């Protein structure tokens, strides 16, 4: 299992596993900037979240709730398609598990940015304006919205915004969007049984004995097991 937090994993091209791609995060370099639209050139669609109460301090976490049961959802049909397409670039189907869209990641993002709480309301304009930008950028470069692009075309755009620290010029703000979107995708994906399987997480399983951390983990950390 990678020792890199999946929340900060870089864009994952389809031909490379997400586990292998996580290893690249510290050495990733953004591609050369191409002429592009900035957020300022894209009509903003983000607005204030409707004044609603939310689910309170003691929700029924056992009951199954339908999407939109607590608050109106936000994403339009086209935004949902863009969300799913981008999430699948970040977390594609590979030998470790299904694609992000197959385990409900886009629906979770819709719920998240629709919730009437401070953190979610702060993420709302970032995600909505970012989705708006990525479709505008796709149209400018390739004459199509993002979900309609080829894998190579999608990767070309994502390569320019996948590493915020090295994003250039007009890509700086979109890179901030991509970073937050990627974190939400990872949080949603690795909170599912399929995501647990992908990273080898087995949960709270009783053990008849515990022999300590694996030797390879101790070696990587540069520590010695002292407790017997």
pLDDT tens digits, one per residue of 38-72: 454 454 555 555 566 676 666 677 777 788 888 89
Instruction: Give CA–CA dist 71/128, Å, rounded.
Output: 17
Neighbouring-strand partners of residue 94: 97
Rg of the chain on CA atoms, in Å = 20
pLDDT in tens, 5-33: 333 333 433 444 444 444 333 333 333 33
Question: How far apart, in Å, are the Cα atoms of 124 and each of 109, 118, 177, 178, 218?
Answer: 10, 10, 10, 13, 41
pLDDT in tens, 120-147: 999 999 999 999 999 999 999 999 999 9
Instruction: Give CA–CA dist 177/128, Å, rounded.
Output: 9
């Amino acid at each position: 299992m990678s020792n890199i937090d999946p929340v900060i994993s870089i864009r994952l091209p389809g031909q490379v596993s997400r586990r292998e791609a996580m290893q690249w995060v510290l050495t990733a370099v953004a591609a050369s900037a191409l002429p592009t639209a900035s957020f300022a050139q894209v009509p903003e669609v983000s607005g204030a979240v409707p004044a609603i109460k939310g689910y309170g301090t003691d929700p029924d976490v056992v009951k199954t709730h339908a999407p939109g049961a607590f608050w109106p959802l936000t994403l339009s049909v086209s935004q949902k398609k863009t969300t799913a397409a981008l999430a699948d670039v970040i977390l594609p189907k590979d030998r470790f598990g299904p694609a992000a869209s197959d385990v409900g990641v886009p629906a979770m993002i819709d719920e998240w940015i629709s919730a009437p709480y401070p953190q979610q309301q702060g993420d709302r304009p970032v995600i909505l304006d970012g989705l708006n930008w990525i479709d505008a950028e796709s149209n400018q470069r390739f004459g199509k919205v993002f979900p309609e692009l080829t894998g190579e075309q999608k990767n070309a755009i994502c390569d320019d915004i996948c590493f915020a620290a090295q994003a250039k010029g007009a890509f700086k703000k979109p890179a901030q969007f991509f970073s937050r979107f990627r974190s939400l995708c990872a949080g949603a994906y690795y909170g599912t049984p399929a995501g647990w399987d992908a990273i080898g997480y087995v949960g709270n399983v009783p053990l008849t004995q515990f022999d300590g951390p694996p030797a390879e983990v101790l070696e990587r950390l540069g520590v010695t097991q002292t407790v017997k």
